[in-house]
Structure 1
Amino acid sequence: MKIKKIVGKKLKAIRLKNDLTIQELAEKSLVSSNMISRIERGLTIPSVEILMKLAGVFDKSINYFVEEVATTHEIVFSSPGERDKTVYDDEHNMHTESFTSGLRDPQFTSFFCTVGAGGSSGVENMYHPGDELIYVLEGRLKVVIAGEKHVLNAGDSLSFKSHLPHRWDNIGEGEAKVIWTLSPFTII
């Protein structure tokens, strides 16, 4: 099943299980009702930021929306080319491969990300509960956290509390290859 369909099906199921209308979920998550409707109908793949906002309403990790329960395990081994992949829109210009996809009830999520030249998290800051670790394998990434600018080159890492407003841009000439790890998401 395609990722759009899995996310949409799971979002609608948990929304209905919690007796919420699309509008009520929009108000609780600060995600537009139009976006929620598009996700539920399998018309779009939400960004990580939107998924985190939706997951927070239900006290779930973003993995809940992208994994099928029947395929989760307590031990997961993966090789390049075999990991679950997500391609984000042109604004983000980012492809991700999940290291934790298939792990039953993980306490963190981790991704191998390839950010195309000029890729960005967008003009708006994002913020969410938990902790975040960024490790740059190749390329250059500018990360701004609470107004403080950090330039990460190959081998550099940055850890921070994700509730601080943050955004990122690939400022290198080519792709940036990054390992991104996020801690659990809980409702504050």
Structure 2
Amino acid sequence: MDRDIGILIKSLRKSKKMTLKEVSEKTDLSISFLSQVERSLCSITLQSLRKISEALGVSPSYFFPDTIEMDKNMIRRGSAKQAEHSSSFIYSDLSGNVTNPLFVPILVTLLPGDKKETPFSHEGQEFIYVLEGMLTVILNDTEYDLSPGDSIHMESNVPHNWFNKTKHPTQFIFVSSTPLIV
């Protein structure tokens, strides 16, 4: 696991004066798991990172430092921020330097062997467009296998999740609306 993510999670949680128990209750992730993530003792899935970022009131891109200088309104090919975590996913933030974005576009690559996780719900909407491989989306306890060119747009308050159950990488564009934080 990228050590910086655990440090950033702990720092943000403390700055918001939240306990591990409060984050656990908001995410349905165990206190011991959250503690291990904060101490960089275990890896984290993108789904768990999404739950934590929502509980802490930030976009998942908060945990990926902006190391690329670019025009505020333009992303140049190959210049997206990219971070790899454990062996389960590669995350590329495509949002650029927009302050307080209304939605967050992400290029996600799920590597083979991803495990099915319990569906969860949250505020906002999500859009997924599959570029390569097969993505399994769970929506209201029904599994949908999306192939390249397939897409889905859903209300995030409907229990959902997605994973790669194949032996090949799956790549897709993931766009989520972020609730305005006042």
Amino acid across the alignment from 2:134: R
Cα RMSD (Å): 3.2
Shift of 1:184: 0.5
Match for residue 133 of structure 2?
139
Amino acid across the alignment from 1:94: F
The residue matched to 2:173 in structure 1 has which SS? strand
Distance in 2 between residues matched to 1:98 and 1:76, nearest whole Å? 13
The runs of 5 or more residues in structure 1 that have no matched partner are: none
Match for residue 51 of structure 1?
49
Number of residue pairs matched by the alignment: 181
Shift of 1:95: 2.4
Distance in 1 between residues matched to 2:97 and 2:2, nearest whole Å? 17
Match for residue 129 of structure 1?
123
**Residue 5 to residue 174, structure 1, CA distance change in 2 (3 Å):** closer
Distance in 2 between residues matched to 1:181 and 1:124, nearest whole Å? 20
Shift of 1:133: 0.9
TM, length-normalised to structure 1: 0.75
Distance in 2 between residues matched to 1:161 and 1:143, nearest whole Å? 13
Match for residue 159 of structure 1 among 147, 153, 174: 153
Deviates more, 1:124-133 or 1:93-102: 93-102
Shift of 1:44: 3.6
Distance in 2 between residues matched to 1:29 and 1:171, nearest whole Å? 23
Match for residue 170 of structure 1?
164
Amino acid across the alignment from 1:135: Y
Between the aligned residues of both structures, percent identity stands at 24
The residue matched to 1:51 in structure 2 has which SS? helix
